[in-house]
Amino acid sequence: MGHMRKPLVAIMAVSGLCSVFMPQAHAATVVPTASGTVYAWGSEGGACSADGCAVLSPTAVTKVSSTNPAVQVQAGNDSTAVVLKDGHVETWGENTLGELGDGTTVSSSTPVTVSNIPTSSGAGATYVDDGKAFYIALMSDGTVWGWGNNQNGELGDGTLSNSLVPVQVKFPQQGNPPDIIAIAAAAGSSFALDSAGNVWAWGDNRRGQLGLGTIGGTQTLPALNQNLKNDSVGDPITAISAGPSYAVALFSNGTVMAWGSNTNGQLGCGSCSTSPNPTPGVVHLTNLPATVVQISAGGNSRTNGHVLVRLANGAVWGWGSNVNGQLGATPGAPVTTPRAIPGISGATDVTAGGSASGALVNGGVWMWGDDNLGQLGEGANPTQPWVPRAIGLKANFLSAGSKHTASL
């Protein structure tokens, strides 16, 4: 996933057409979400902490302060993080590699406070994103901090040492440091977009997922991506999002570019090679009914990635792996050319999880895809889980992780 610290500019775009199953009727009692109330469902790291556990319907997370409510939630690999109103970050779930950022390796089923978040003088975190057992956080002053797993340099501090507390990402100091406005993270790699339109990348590059034009090695400090400054007609980048071993970028005119692993069509380039592509290429979006305004990359392994895009008219399109129905169709072969997710209109947010997908539609949470651990929040064994439908929960923000989902 990824996020902008400052408002997006207006956008415009293009794609193909396909029809699959329409959503079936789904009766449910709507659960109103109080301001700042976090709900979670699915497996460990969300609403429960035991390995293999499953909470089958949305459950309120306890001990999140009502006087200092959450303003963003991020469902991670085996943990969850929330940004609070005052800029602090709280986490819960697995902590083997220090991903909770509280200075310990003790897992917690209730929220703990991340240490060392600089919150003096009105500073603090504005957004967090997760990779495999690590988090990066964007601060209100344009700096980026990270904690947890660092075996591939994903914390960007110049080392390969894990950190139990946040450390600052070390961008090259050529004059003033870059003012970062957006971040994205995935398994082993991290990305940042600065206010000048530059994309920075660091971490694992074994499948060309940093987009630097090369395959192999690790990058322990942020590297400037010379391939992604602007598109061919000078439109700036407005958003970035990352999945396992690949990433995507959105330009102000609605163009989407992708790079890295393509084992399941994650790059959206039709019949192109399934080999990794370390140089960003344009996704084959043609004949779209409206402009692309949001991107979300997901997946839980390098061979299982999918991308969702939200259009200005509220429609949702997608491509990549569909082995669990995460593209809203009967589980099957990868989808290499973008197509519409059926039955969704009026979407205001989308999220691509490990092998499940979600959207906010008219304030309600819709889910589809894999439900083996309760990721859809629909109770036990829902019929045709790949069919998008409302689950009876109101929310302002939705985040799908590898094994669980969270909302607020």
Residue 31 has, within 13 A of its CA and on its CB side, a CA count of 19
Q: Are 281 and 267 in contact (CB under 8 A)?
A: yes
CATH number at residue 307: 2.130.10.30
Q: What average pLDDT does the segment 140-144 reach?
A: 93
Give residue 378's domain range: 2-407
Residue reference for tokens 């490990």: 354
Q: Are 291 and 285 in contact (CB under 8 A)?
A: no
Q: What average pLDDT does the segment 108-113 reach?
A: 92
Q: What average pLDDT does the segment 39-53 reach?
A: 75
Domain count for the chain, please give it: 1
Answer whether residue 250 shows pLDDT above 80: yes
* Residue 147 CB contacts under 8 Å (≥ 6 apart), including other chains: 98, 99, 101, 114, 134, 135, 155, 163, 164, 165, 166, 167
Distance CA 371, CA 383 (A): 10
Answer whether residue 38 shows pLDDT above 60: yes
3-state secondary structure 253-310: CCCEEEEECCCCCCCCCCCCCCCCEEEEEECCCCCCCCCEEEEEEEEEECCEEEEEEE
Answer whether residue 324 shows pLDDT above 80: yes
pLDDT in tens, 61-110: 866 566 788 999 999 999 999 999 999 999 999 999 999 999 999 999 88
Closest CA to 183 of 137, 121, 252: 137
Strand segments (E) across 346-395: 347-352, 356-361, 364-369, 389-394
Distance CA 115, CA 388 (A): 39
**Could you tell me what percent of the chain has a pLDDT over 90?**
72
Q: What average pLDDT does the segment 281-289 reach?
A: 92
Distance CA 8, CA 10 (A): 6
Distance CA 238, CA 172 (A): 22
pLDDT in tens, 148-183: 999 999 999 999 999 999 999 999 876 677 899 999
Distance CA 4, CA 9 (A): 11
pTM beyond cutoff 0.85: yes
Q: Are 407 and 44 in contact (CB under 8 A)?
A: no
Strand segments (E) across 87-217: 89-93, 108-113, 125-130, 134-139, 144-148, 163-168, 180-186, 189-194, 199-204
